[in-house]
Structure 1
Amino acid sequence: MSGAEEEAPHGKVPRLRAPRTAAAALVATAVLVAAGALLYDVVAVRAGQPARRWRAQLADELATRRLDDVWVLTGAGVAVVLGGCLLWLALAPGLRRWLPLRPYGETTAAIDKGGIAHLLADRAAGLTGIEELRIRVGRRRVRVRLVGAADPASVQRQLREELARVGVARPLRLDVRAARGAGGAVGGDGRSEVAG
């Protein structure tokens, strides 16, 4: 393991947060408050106290209003819209594809994992003996699988230097594995993959 891999990040790097995090926290807080109020009232009724006025009124409204009532249809429409928003928040892409870089003063930045894979593939393209290159970049490790007559130790040294230049806040482990190819040495045909 090189010194670049053992080096600790300079200062504490804030964790990347997607915009949906605030919306999810707001929804969770609202649901928690509503469920807590309802549970408190149910426990109070079971303990022999009268039901709160708002719950009795709500139960009476739900029991007496027809399904084609304007307020019932409006409430159903609002519930559908909120459900669609929550579904979108659940399926929207987050920031798992981004890795924070080391802070520079008050500036913070991030790099896409696919960008790291392309940088490594470009560096490996100048090396001889590589027929095929497959790069997978995860959150903590970069896996490189190469086919060809190239020396894996030399490839790992070159790619480690390139990875150190990227300057990610949390150093990534580099794992290079090689398999012998059938042909001679050709240019580096790099294929990159991004792991979640």
Structure 2
Amino acid sequence: MSPPVSPPVPPPADRGATRIADRVVRRVAGRAAEEVLRPVGGEVVRASADVRGSRVDRIQLDVGLAYPSHLETSGADLQQRVAERTARLTGLTVSRTAVRITRLAQSPPPAVEPAVSAETAGPGGGRRPWSERRVPAAVFALIGTVVCGALLADVVAVALGRAPSDLRVRALDWLTGHGPADTAVAVGAAVATVAGLWLLLTAFTPGLRGRLAMVGPRTSLDRPAAAALVRHRAADVPGVARVRVTAGRRRIVIRARITFGDPDEVRDTLKDVSRDVVTGLGLAKPPRVRVRVSRDAYWQPPRPKDPDHKEATPDVPAHAPAPTPTPAP
């Protein structure tokens, strides 16, 4: 008797499907980023991933880097390492990896030479990343869902032989009795126009005004982090007692108060130091540096007394009688 013949095994593609959840890819990307950042003193603040089938559309990483370090090179290296590591461990294709630098630590990392320049930057380098506009999209999607759902429910009810809703009947009666010249209609049209213009503005502008675009592809730096770097270096200039730095998109303003030294020399030193810091950030469009210096209030020793100067004494008449002592009780 011959042994039973087992049925042929179908190929792996026909056996089923394997789906990897977003949170799994998020954790893998976060662990991959930690493998790169921990040896040099960095940290992962937040990680997110968007999976579509066998492709990862986007990996977003908010990280903290160690100071001092070349931010442009560190961001580009982190992007490449996370994308390669995530693709190798999950088997998915990583389409985009975005890195956002949100804080700086004080532990010094090993020296890293710049590897990416404005000429060799990949696609998307030098452009500020676009905001996802989650809040406006969610608000308008919710409003549209509620309105369309109410209309659909009323239409289905009418098709089933029921009477239309009282709200729709009153709305139609009101619309038939009011024209474009009415105040209520004009106000509604103005509100709809403003909402439409706002949607167009959010669609055609990148947003994320708090970030500065870097030379590396899809790499940005928060403006508070840039201000902290400049303030850290400006505080080491001799004579500077207090310093405040404001980082904008086109200029960085430094307001310093000094206790000693020539204000013009301190101002020139602050400009040179700040420009060196801004140049080392690897920004696509380095902002201009403006420095304002003022003297701080400081203690002054009292003036020495003049030996020839005598203190003024009250004039006492010569004929005034001497005061008599008062007997004790």
Q: TM-score, normalised by structure 1?
A: 0.51
Counterpart selection for 2:221 from 111, 134, 138: 111
Counterpart selection for 2:232 from 122, 125, 138: 122
More off after superposition, 137-146 vs 13-22: 13-22
- The residue that corresponds to 1:73 in the other structure is none
- The residue that corresponds to 1:174 in the other structure is 289
Residues 11-22 of structure 1 mapped to structure 2, 5 A cutoff: 13-20=126-133
- The residue that corresponds to 2:211 in the other structure is 98
Q: How far 1:133 sits from its partner (Å)?
A: 0.5
Q: How far 1:152 sits from its partner (Å)?
A: 0.3
- The residue that corresponds to 2:164 in the other structure is 61
Distance 1:14 1:25, change over 3 A: farther
Distance 1:155 1:63, change over 3 A: same
Amino acid of the residue matched to residue 296 of structure 2? Answer: G
More off after superposition, 165-174 vs 143-152: 143-152
- The residue that corresponds to 1:24 in the other structure is 137
Distance 1:135 1:26, change over 3 A: same
Q: State the distance in 2 between where 1:160 and 1:101 align.
A: 16
Runs of 4+ with deviation above 2 angstroms: 9-15, 21-28
Q: How far 1:182 sits from its partner (Å)?
A: 2.5
**Where in structure 2 are there 5+ consecutive unaligned residues?**
1-117, 148-154, 169-201, 300-329
Counterpart selection for 1:133 from 226, 238, 243: 243
Amino acid of the residue matched to residue 144 of structure 1? Answer: I
Q: How far 1:170 sits from its partner (Å)?
A: 1.5
1:147-176 Cα deviation digits (max 9, x unpaired): 114510111111110111011111101111
Task: Provide the alpha-carbon RMSD of the alignment.
Answer: 3.8
* Structure 1 SS opposite 2:165: helix
Distance 1:133 1:64, change over 3 A: closer
Higher relative contact order (CA 8 A, sep 6+): 1
Residues 69-80 of structure 1 mapped to structure 2, 5 A cutoff: none
Amino acid of the residue matched to residue 62 of structure 1? Answer: S
1:60-92 Cα deviation digits (max 9, x unpaired): 633279xxxxxxxxxxxxxxxxxxxxxxxx9xx
Distance 1:100 1:21, change over 3 A: farther
Relative to its length, the structure with more helix (as a share) is 1
**Where in structure 1 are there 5+ consecutive unaligned residues?**
1-8, 35-53, 66-89, 185-196
1:10-37 Cα deviation digits (max 9, x unpaired): 5653332222269639948x96xx9xxx
1:78-125 Cα deviation digits (max 9, x unpaired): xxxxxxxxxxxx9xxx7322212112xxx4311111111111111112
Q: State the distance in 1 between where 2:129 and 2:221 align.
A: 11
Distance 1:61 1:13, change over 3 A: farther
Amino acid of the residue matched to residue 14 of structure 1? Answer: R
Q: State the distance in 1 between where 2:167 and 2:278 align.
A: 67
Q: TM-score, normalised by structure 2?
A: 0.32
Q: State the distance in 1 between where 2:257 and 2:222 align.
A: 25
Q: State the distance in 1 between where 2:273 and 2:298 align.
A: 23
Q: State the distance in 2 between where 1:134 and 1:99 align.
A: 19
- The residue that corresponds to 1:46 in the other structure is none
* Structure 2 SS opposite 1:61: coil
Q: Greater Rg, structure 1 or structure 2? A: 2
